[in-house]
Amino acid sequence: MMLRKRVFVYLILLALIVASCGGGPSTPAPKKTGSVSGLLVAAGTVGKNSNQNFEIVTSQATILNTSPDFEAIPGEYLVKFKDGISTQGLESLTVAGSELRQISSMSFNDLTIYFYKAKSVSKLQSASIANDLANNPNIDAIVENRMYDMTKTPNDPIYPAQWHYPSFNLPAAWDIETGKSIVVAVVDSGIVKHPELRILPGYDFYANDNDPTDEAGAQTQFHGTHVAGTIAAKSNDKIGATGVSWQTSIVPVRVLGPRGSTETIMKGTFWAAGGTINGVADNPNPAKIINLSLGGKGACSKLENDVFKNLTDAGRIVVVAAGNDNVNVNDFSPANCENVITVGATGPKGQRAPYSNYGNLIDIMAPGGDVSQSITFGNRNFPAGVLSTSFDLQSGKFSYSFLQGTSMAAPHISGLLALMVSKNPNLKYADALAKLKAASRAMSATDCKRGSGSDCGAGLVDAAKALGASGTNPPPKPPPTTNITTYVFALYCKPDTNCQLYDIDRSKYSVVKQDKSSVPYKLSGLEKGKYFMLGYQDLNGNVEFDKGEPAGAYPSFIDLAEGENILGATIKMQPLTTNSTSSSNKSLREIINNVNKEFAKLKDN
């Protein structure tokens, strides 16, 4: 009995020793998870297979200057009889088998005009009646009654999507001035020869040649072309979009590719204004107004201040973007320089855009867009950016894009200055700035999204008041907008499927606040494996992929090791279409719809 007890105790001690040495069963250590992070880039170009009004093909350039036909009202005529003709008994006329009844008359001094109407005539019959009236020997003049639009409202087909013009009362300004042949220099990323632009000879200080074409459009989003279109896209021609100043010409100066140095920018600015650059032919069309939608962190040097002082003394006006970092502009150059007009950005509701720099060096505010909001145009939702000229690399066609930034706000002011100079060719910098500030609507602390509204300068400019209008109606109410939901997904690829199938349970997603053109994202808690990275904007909030909604993918699959953290996975989104024939677009559409369904199931559970 004693032996059995000793053996039992021995076995217990042995088991404890074995367990302490790790020889027995134990709980495995949890596997480390990793992450993927990078930038999510908002859509820019409205491209191939989008609403037809959003594309211009090169062949259309030949008809850009065609005047629109007037719209006649069938069966209605204004008639002036020859002197000496008795008008008694002319209450009705019979012309081409139709009876015309005299409805009214109007007189001033010895001029009397009669208004006649015929019942139920077609457009063709009406034109025939007008022709017979014109050939009547008793009639001195006749015109068909015509439909007219509000004065100076352009007939360009996508103008209704350019919410940013009414937001600073530009249509009322067009009643005063639509612009003359003013020269504005766009010192930027270069340009493409968009048929909506009047382009003068320029220069490329980035590549040191006389071709200022934007050769880095994939990186710049054709920034300079977009800026130029806001200033001066051809207008009221039934083609494409509208610019602020309808007759202005652009001198393109390339200094960014997509970045540029102080030296390059300074050379470009000097040359644009008519200065001499060693080894470069002088600018044959010196610009009165120079737009600088560029900048970087740092103080404004004495040299830079001297440059801008020299330019203003020579009668030039320089407009500068305030910057897009949501910080005080005091540390952003050249916006913090003297003798420039520094412009902050507002969104579609007239408030400071969430990215716009602020501070006591902001002079004025102008529309710059906010792609975290959407607007509706043509029964479709689009990001509420500024709509202007661009180029679609996918289709190889000239196009239009919605972009946001103080870079988009500055050209609104450059275009407005072109209107002001058209009205007063002797306008100088100091007077121009004073007029712009006096014409601005002060912003409250709430609208400026700061402790004081003074951080938004004098406020949002009223373009009509800047042109001298008094007693004008205020800008119309802001367009209705909706918040855009932006998703980023890390889809876990099932083994041996070449990422054609995904394990939703192992996949992750996040909602990203797209308040800038490029915003950071990070997806954590990712297991070891292969992932497909996808970004997607649900413009109308129906959690389904719809025509034109932006999406994009990281260009290669990501092999994530256990516990690995991968940086720099940039996802660029572009509008896709439901009828696109591109195999990659078709695949992306199917993935988005499947992902939406699968994640919806997880939420329901």
Residues marked as catalytic? 188, 223, 407
CA distance 358 to 409: 13
What 143-151 contacts at long range (C-beta under 8 Å, 24+ apart), as own/partner pairs, is 143/77, 143/78, 144/72, 144/73, 144/76, 144/77, 144/78, 145/72, 145/73, 145/76, 145/77, 145/78, 145/115, 146/70, 146/71, 146/72, 146/73, 147/70, 147/71, 147/72, 147/73, 151/175
Is the peptide bond preceding residue 258 cis, with omega within 30 degrees of 0? yes
The phi-psi region of residue 55 (left if phi > 0; otherwise alpha if psi is between -120 and 50; otherwise beta) is beta
Backbone CA torsion sign across 469, 472, 476, 477: positive
> Minimal CA–CA distance to 113: which of 84, 143, 137?
143
Which tokens is 185 given? Answer: 């220099």
SS3 for 460-511 is: EECHHHHCCCCCCCCCCCCCCCEECEEEEEEEEECCCCCCCCEEEEEEEEEE
CA distance 321 to 357: 9
CA distances to 38, 45, 530 from 561, rounded to whole Å, are 17, 36, 9
User: Who's near 76: CB < 8 A, 6+ residues apart?
Assistant: 115, 116, 117, 118, 126, 144, 145
Q: Give the bridge partners for 296, in sequence order.
A: 333
